[in-house]
């Protein structure tokens, strides 16, 4: 809760009134951005509009908001209804502050603004103008950490809801009107579950046999009033047949378009359940409650859903964002050691692509992380989710930036496929893929040798495999042509120049094969 709070939303939704009340309850300063602009300009908002127009006002507004975001001081700031229309500025705000959108129906807004000077509603038909503005801004307002309804004008009730959202310190995944928040905490599942589930015409709770045994108590409490469906556990069961089984369970549960799928389990459960929701009744609501470290830091966030087709991993799928994600790190207490340790490769990958400080945290707190200390786990999960949310928010459908999340996965997936998804866990394969990617980056002249050694040593210290000579790399390279990142005879391959500085290179598959095989040798003077 160290971040400032920004109250966003359309005019007359109560931002200033509610903001002052929240600030009073928290004992922190309150600022109204319009008041700040007026003081700095020496003129009212109406006068500024008259003299420099909306474009001139927006420049003043952006400068004032950038001043606010430059400081992490705890305070409450009510922003104008158009202050966060610039998407890049909005994404920056979502990273540096907690953004809560206040909402009210158009008819309520029109009643509240009647007779008040509103430059944007000037003209013969303010109602039509307000409706057009509200519709144009709908996606921007949805990109927030929480949304609070102020229809009934109960200031204390709205302030309580806003304050609660601020205290939870969620992470926002900005995806237009499909935006959602990820909550990370220890022991928060049953406290937050009723609010996250919300109104639904029915619930299909999907898990797997392993999780059913390990989390029987939690499932019993979550499953009250829901239809439970149990999948076979393991990547080898992430198939179209499993997807069909979930569809049939939804049919048996009479789940309609107002129903909710809940994925309670690891990455396989999340992938299958999310894809089932994406295709059920042409798109149904779903929630993710990850129970493994891998699914918390990776699979449950970002809206990638899929099943495997023979040896082609994640070949059939869809982008379909969940309505919410709840990461309760207390659930990790029952995760088997191998699965937990395996997921640490994804944590290392995340540090390499987007958080250099996380790499330092892992090196200084490796033992605490391995022993699943609650504070260390919460920090690791929160940092990983924040990195992924930042990347996904800028590239939801993997047209460019999001590809960096595939660091270590090109050869990792190939290792999984060539061994029938049985010899390695996903995380173990990714660990080997990371070592290979770092060595390939070194041969390409991108990655420095000390970073290769640093990460390889860290992976080993965390209990992950790093010896490429003992892996079936020679067999794995034959599966590169099936990689979903392939573009004709080329593959988008991710390397890193430093922690937090990834880049993607379009490499011919044949060159990548040679570089991968060369990684079996410690020599770096081989021909590229």
As annotated, the active-site residues are: 282, 304, 346, 388, 398, 402, 406, 409, 413, 426
* 210: nearest Cα among 321, 325, 334: 334
The single residue listed with the structure tokens 């966060």 is 84
SS3 (DSSP) at 78: strand
SS3 (DSSP) at 397: coil
* 265: nearest Cα among 346, 320, 184, 334: 334
**CB-CB neighbours of 224 under 10 Å:** 9
> In this structure, are strands 324-328 and 180-185 parallel, antiparallel, or unpaired?
parallel
**CB-CB neighbours of 115 under 10 Å:** 6
Biggest CA–CA distance in the chain, Å, is 77
Say if residue 96 is exposed, middle or buried (CB neighbours under 10 Å; 0-12, 13-18, 19+). Answer: middle
Give every CB contact of residue 415 below 8 A, 6+ residues apart in sequence.
423, 424, 429, 432, 433, 471, 472, 473, 476
Q: What is the DSSP string of 220-274?
A: HHHTTTSEEEEEPPSGGG-SHHHHHHHHHHHHHTT--TT-EEEEEESHHHHHHHH
* 473: nearest Cα among 424, 426, 404, 411: 411
d(CA 509, CA 487): 10
- Token pair in block for residue 176: 């237009």
List C-alpha distances in Å: 8 to 18, 133, 368. Answer: 11, 15, 39
Find out whether 175 and 320 touch, Cβ atoms under 8 Å.
no
SS3 (DSSP) at 524: coil
Q: What is the DSSP string of 104-155?
A: --HHHHHHHHTTS--GGG-SS-HHHHHHHHHHHHHHHHHSSSEEEE-TT--H
d(CA 496, CA 234): 31
Query: What is the distance in angstroms between the CA of the first residue and the CA of the last residue of the chain?
Result: 50
């Amino acid at each position: 809760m160290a971040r400032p709070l920004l109250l966003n939303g359309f005019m007359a939704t109560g931002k200033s009134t509610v903001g002052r009340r929240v600030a009073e309850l928290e004992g922190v300063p309150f600022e109204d951005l319009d008041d700040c602009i007026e003081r700095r300009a020496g003129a009212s908002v109406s006068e500024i509009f008259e003299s420099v127009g909306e474009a001139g006002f927006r420049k003043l507004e952006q400068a004032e908001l950038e001043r606010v975001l430059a400081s992490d001081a705890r305070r409450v700031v009510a922003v104008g209804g158009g202050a966060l229309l610039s998407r890049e500025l909005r994404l920056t705000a979502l990273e540096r502050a907690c953004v809560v959108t206040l909402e009210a129906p158009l008819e309520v807004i029109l009643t509240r603004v009647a007779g008040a000077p509103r430059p944007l509603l000037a003209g013969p038909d303010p109602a039509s103008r307000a409706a057009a503005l509200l519709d144009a801004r709908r996606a921007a307002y949805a990109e927030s950490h929480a949304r609070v309804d102020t229809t009934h004008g109960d200031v204390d009730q709205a302030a309580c809801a806003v304050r609660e959202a601020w205290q939870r310190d969620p992470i926002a995944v900005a995806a237009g009107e499909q935006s959602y928040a990820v909550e990370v905490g220890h022991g928060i599942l049953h406290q937050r579950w009723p609010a996250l589930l919300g109104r639904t015409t029915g619930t299909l709770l999907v898990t797997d046999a392993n999780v059913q045994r390990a989390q029987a108590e939690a499932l019993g409490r979550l499953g009250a009033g829901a239809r439970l469906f149990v999948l076979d556990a393991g990547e080898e069961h992430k198939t179209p047949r499993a997807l069909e089984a979930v569809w049939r369970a939804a049919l048996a549960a009479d789940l309609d378009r107002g129903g909710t799928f809940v994925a309670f389990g690891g990455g396989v459960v999340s992938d299958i359940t999310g894809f089932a929701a994406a295709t059920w009744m042409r798109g149904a609501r779903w929630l993710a409650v990850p129970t493994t470290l891998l699914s918390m830091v990776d699979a449950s966030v970002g809206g990638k859903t899929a099943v495997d087709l023979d040896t082609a991993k994640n070949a059939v799928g869809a982008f379909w964002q969940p309505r919410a994600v709840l990461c309760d790190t207390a659930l990790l207490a029952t995760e088997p050691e191998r699965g937990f340790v395996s997921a640490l490769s994804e944590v290392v990958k995340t540090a390499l692509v987007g958080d250099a400080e996380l790499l330092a945290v892992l090196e200084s707190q490796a033992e605490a992380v391995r022993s699943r200390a609650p504070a260390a786990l919460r920090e690791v999960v929160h940092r990983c989710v924040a990195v992924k949310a930042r990347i996904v928010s800028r590239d939801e459908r993997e047209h460019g930036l999001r590809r960096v999340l595939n660091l270590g996965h090109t050869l990792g997936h190939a290792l999984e496929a060539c061994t029938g998804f049985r010899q390695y866990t996903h995380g173990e394969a990714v660990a080997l893929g990371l070592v290979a990617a770092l060595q390939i980056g070194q041969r390409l002249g991108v990655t420095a040798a000390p970073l290769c050694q640093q990460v390889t040593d860290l992976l080993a210290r965390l209990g992950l495999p790093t010896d490429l000579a003992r892996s079936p790399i020679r067999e794995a390279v034959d599966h590169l042509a099936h990689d979903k990142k392939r573009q004709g005879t080329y593959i988008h391959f991710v390397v890193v120049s430093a922690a937090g500085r990834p880049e993607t290179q379009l490499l011919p598959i044949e060159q990548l094969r040679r570089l991968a095989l060369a990684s079996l040798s410690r020599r770096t003077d081989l021909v590229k």
